[in-house]
Amino acid sequence: MRLTRLWIVAIALATSMLACRMPGKSIESNYKNVDQFNFDVAMGPKNYHIEGYLTRSAENGRLPGLLVLNGGEGNVERCVKMSQDIAAMGIQVACVNIPGYGKSSGPSRFVGQPSVVASRRALDILAARADVDSTRLAVWGLGHGAVAAGLLMDYDSRPRALILESGLYDPLTLWPDAPLRTKLSILREVWPSKRILKERSVIANLPPKLGCSVLIMHGERDNRVPVGQAVKLADALRVRGAKVSTRYFPQASHDLGKRVEPELRAFLRDNLLDTNRAAAS
């Protein structure tokens, strides 16, 4: 009897170990309208593999495209789940992890040049799709992804709408008084020389004029990136002619989570979908 019990325990343990080793379902297998959006980019001798997924709208024709850049806050799995509601609006949604996050190659290097190159390549691929209208593109960046989206805005005029969430937009001026947590986070990735910080500053690299619409969202209790960074960027964008909307959440910290979704959908309706209806009429 004791031997039988030992065999039962051994079989149960072996089964549980095998179950732990079995790979889980891939993200796209959980949705009928989601495909892989992986690609590779080269920076000199280095190659970066970028993880992404595309959520297809059920509507026909060439639709607006939204590129979501995840960098710490959020991830492609959460993005794909959220993208179902946006796709239902008639928008194709590509969720991408910038270098150093999720299954994308790294290191991040504090949103260095590989992140900008990867973001532009993702926009190229999205814009080239037969079911995407390349004149109606938007980019949404979260955390470090917001920095990548902001730097993309500095060098690429294709996005007509941008959503920037919880980003650090001027590290050059913030560094002396930055929270310790922020300083340690930067030091883990790069040496914060003046040149390095300026290269990664959205504000320092803004073009003289901008014709895009921008929604900036930030938590007023963010203990990693002060809300003043968002306020400063909004002022700099307005001076350059951008149409800027802001939403500062009084009780929110760094990761804004689902609370941003109503603001996001309203902004996309106003700046991508209504423009399309006006053009068609």
3-state secondary structure of 155: helix
> What average pLDDT does the segment 4-28 reach?
50
Assign 181 a pLDDT band (cuts: 50, 70, 90): confident
C-alpha angle 70/76/79, rounded to 5°? 85
Task: Name residue, tokens 């260095």.
Answer: 112
**Cβ atoms of 60 and 79 closer than 8 Å:** no
Task: Name residue, tokens 């922020």.
Answer: 182
pLDDT digits (tens, 9 = 90+) for 45-94: 899 999 999 999 999 999 999 999 998 766 788 999 999 999 999 999 99
Q: Is pLDDT larger for residue 23 or for residue 180?
A: 180
Assign 16 a pLDDT band (cuts: 50, 70, 90): very low
Find how far residue 199's CA is from the centre of its chain: 19
Q: Is pLDDT larger for residue 37 or for residue 8?
A: 37
Chain mean pLDDT for the chain: 89
Task: Name residue, tokens 């992986």.
Answer: 38
pLDDT digits (tens, 9 = 90+) for 208-243: 999 999 999 999 999 999 999 999 999 999 999 999
Q: Is pLDDT larger for residue 187 or for residue 3?
A: 187
d(CA 188, CA 185): 5
> Which pLDDT score, from 0 to 100, does residue 140 have?
97
Helices 113-127, 144-155: axis angle to 10 degrees equals 70
pTM comes to 0.88
**Cβ atoms of 151 and 205 closer than 8 Å:** yes
DSSP 41-75: EEETTEEEEE-EEEEPPSS-SSEEEEEEEEESBS-
> Which pLDDT score, from 0 to 100, does residue 25 have?
63
d(CA 49, CA 70): 15
Instruction: Tell the burial category of 154 from Cβ atoms under 10 Å away from its Cβ (0-12, 13-18, 19+).
Output: middle
Examine residue 114 and say whether the peptide bond preceding it is cis (omega within 30 degrees of 0).
no
pLDDT at 3 over 70: no
pLDDT digits (tens, 9 = 90+) for 120-155: 999 999 999 999 999 999 999 999 999 999 999 998
Domain boundaries, the chain: 27-280
Assign 279 a pLDDT band (cuts: 50, 70, 90): very low
Q: How many CB atoms lie within 10 A of CB 89?
A: 17
The second-level CATH assignment, the architecture, of 27-280 is 3-Layer(aba) Sandwich (3.40)
**Cβ atoms of 214 and 237 closer than 8 Å:** yes
Select from 202, 28, 216, 38 the least CA-distant residue to 118.
38
